Structure 1
Amino acid sequence: MDFLSIAADYGFITLLSLAFFSFVAGFIDSVVGGGGLIQLPALLINLPNTSIPTLFGTNKIAALSGTSISAAQYSKKIKFNYKVLIVIAFWAAIASFLGAKTVSYINVNTLKPLILVILILIAIYTFIKKNLGAIQTKKLSFKKMIIYGSIIGLIIGFYDGFFGPGTGSFLVLAFVVVFGFEFVEASAYSKVINCITNIFALIVFIKQGNYLLELAIIMAICNILGNILGTKLALKKGNTFVRSIFLFIVILMIIRYAYDIFYK
């Protein structure tokens, strides 16, 4: 991979822009998810003539690289319930694969109004619940964790394969609200599940040839660096820091979707 030849093909400013936003996306994604909110629009803006599935595939490669590193870092500090994690991952993987298959058949813009409403409700709920994610609030039975986790995996897994931006944030909130996890623990679980959904969505995109490998590698390196920094800060500063970043990202997503719906 020759950086100069890639710069000649895409333009130095384009590469610099994608590298910067991939780093920022990696940082945000490692803390509360939602890195796709930054990375995918960066691709859409810088490569307006590239097909949507190709941009999605390129984004997934970079996102998976960073998220996998973040998941490994969290696993050293957080004790997982692997039985529950495997069940959620199983259903999320299937749903993500089906979601990626659906990209070519359904216009993602039809979902944006619904996503906007959901995000506004999430922001209000998180703001009102001051102690949300500060401590573990409930202890579910194994059976309930399996049932609720399967539903979470199916719904959010399909969304990630089909569209993607904000998946990590939706997973974090699901683990906090439904499972009663602390924010840091929820973020750790969401990273592992997000890795699985990215892998199975990528199987579809790669098989279809929908990716730009050179750009994906550059973005992946920057995304990994951002993930490493973000994970260290999240583990060091704890739940209050993660909650603040989570609210910031949800508000950012609300602004983004509102702009897409009302002004584009």
Structure 2
Amino acid sequence: MFDIVLLCVFAFAAGLIDAAVGGGGLIQIPALFNVLPSAQPAALLGTNKVAAACGTAFAARSFVRKVVIDWSLVVPAAGAAFVMAFAGAATVSIVPQALMRPAVLVLIMLMAIYTFWKKDFGSLHKPMHIGTKEKLLAVLVGGAIGFYDGLFGPGTGSFLIFLFIRCFAFDFLHASASAKLVNIATNVAALLFFIPSGNVLYLVALPMALFNILGALTGTWLAVRKGVPFVRALFLVLLVILISKLSYDLILQG
């Protein structure tokens, strides 16, 4: 019971952070592996995905009610993400994970530098006209991030937020809301593997899902209430944490 309570605390924190800027897996996955060290890794990842998917769904629902969503971009991006998440998962055994970490670390460092130095990045919401070119770009963005999520995963939400701002001139709040909707597609793709294969610890996953939802609702409320400056600051903090985590993992591998 103590383990479940502890995991619920982490699930709440993960839901809160993930709703605003992504990166909830940085909190929830290490918590599961540390609190339940004897469980199978696949079962822990499936348990994490159930809780995270529930929180993401409720965060997306809250954002949709409070933020205007550009569905002409989000729908093709989500569709491509769903398909490519399967492709990414299928190539996990082919692409060495040891090659992924340094490449992703460099990309996240570049994202952090760009966001920090470009002070107006994501501060204004001036979306471009959506035509065929922009929809195709949305498919490329969703497909690339969906593939990455299936293949590796860390920082998926942050990559989506950055690309929605950089490619479509969204502000941080609208980019975060759009990223949540695309995340739903990748979560569903993952659940279609984990649930049928029996890789979910439901006695742990269900209470964690409840607290992840509570955290997600809190994170959404904070993002909408505090606005773009809060989300931008939180985004930069998360990127620093991601950089630290990936650097630490590389040092351990070395």
Does the pair score TM above 0.5?
yes
State the partner residue of 1:23: 12
Letter aligned with residue 186 of structure 2: T
Which residue number in structure 1 is paired with residue 252 of structure 2? 263
Aligned mates of 1:153, 1:86 — CA distance in 2: 9
Cα distance in 1 for partners of 2:178, 2:111 equals 19
Asked if 1 retains the 8 angstrom alpha-carbon contact of 2:125 and 2:174, the reply is no
Identity %: 43
1:125 aligned to which of 85, 103, 114: 114
Give TM-score scaled by structure 1 length. 0.90
Let me know the Cα RMSD of the aligned residues: 1.6
Question: Measured at CA, do residues 229 and 15 of structure 1 come closer, stay the same or move farther in structure 2, by a change above 3 Å?
Answer: same
Match of 1:44 among 28, 33, 40: 33
> 2: CA distance between counterparts of 1:128 and 1:88?
28
Match of 2:196 among 199, 207, 224: 207
What is the distance in 2 between the residues matched to 1:114 and 1:215?
33
Letter in 2 for 1:81: D
Alignment-mate amino acid for residue 221 of structure 1: L
Could you tell me the TM-score, scaled by structure 2's length?
Answer: 0.94
Q: Which of 106, 112, 115 is the matching residue for 2:101?
A: 112
Which string of whole-angstrom CA distances, capped at 9 and with x for unpartnered residues, describes residues 143-202 of structure 1?
222111111111111122233232111111110111110100001100111011101111
| Cα deviation 1:103-142 (Å, max 9, x = unaligned) | 4565534311111111111111110011111002551442
After TM superposition, give the deviation of residue 97 of structure 1 in Å.
2.0
Residue 236 (1) aligns with residue 225 (2): yes
Secondary structure (helix, strand or coil) at the match of 2:245 reads: helix
Amino acid at match of 2:171: E
Q: Which is further off, 198-207 or 141-150? A: 141-150
Which SS does the other structure have where 2:67 is aligned? coil
Q: Which moved more, 1:138-147 or 1:166-175?
A: 138-147
Distance 1:188 1:89 in 2: 13
Unpaired segments ≥5 residues, structure 1: 1-6
Structure 1 distance, partners of 2:217, 2:4, is: 21
C-alpha separation between the residues in 1 aligned to 2:250 and 2:44? 21
Q: Which letter maps to 1:256?
A: K
Within 5 Å, give how 1:140-155 maps onto structure 2: 140-155=129-144
Provide the C-alpha distance between the structure 1 equivalents of 2:249 and 2:180, rounded to a whole number of angstroms.
27
In 2 relative to 1, CA 209–163 (structure 1 residues): closer, same or farther, beyond 3 Å? farther
Task: Name which of 202, 205, 208 aligns with 1:216.
Answer: 205
Q: What SS does the aligned partner of 1:136 have?
A: coil
Could you say which residue in structure 1 is the equivalent of 2:123? 134
How many Å separate the matches in 1 of 2:31 and 2:245?
13
| 1:70-120 C-alpha deviation (Å, 9 max, x unpaired) | 100000122222232221111100011222334456553431111111111
* Cα distance in 1 between the residues matched to 2:89 and 2:199: 11
1:39-188 map, 5 Å = 39-103=28-92, 106-137=95-126, 139-188=128-177
Unpaired runs of 5+ residues, structure 2, are none
SS in 1 for 2:200: coil
Count of matched residue pairs: 253
CA distance in 1 between partners of 2:98 and 2:27 (Å): 17
Question: Match of 1:164, SS?
Answer: coil
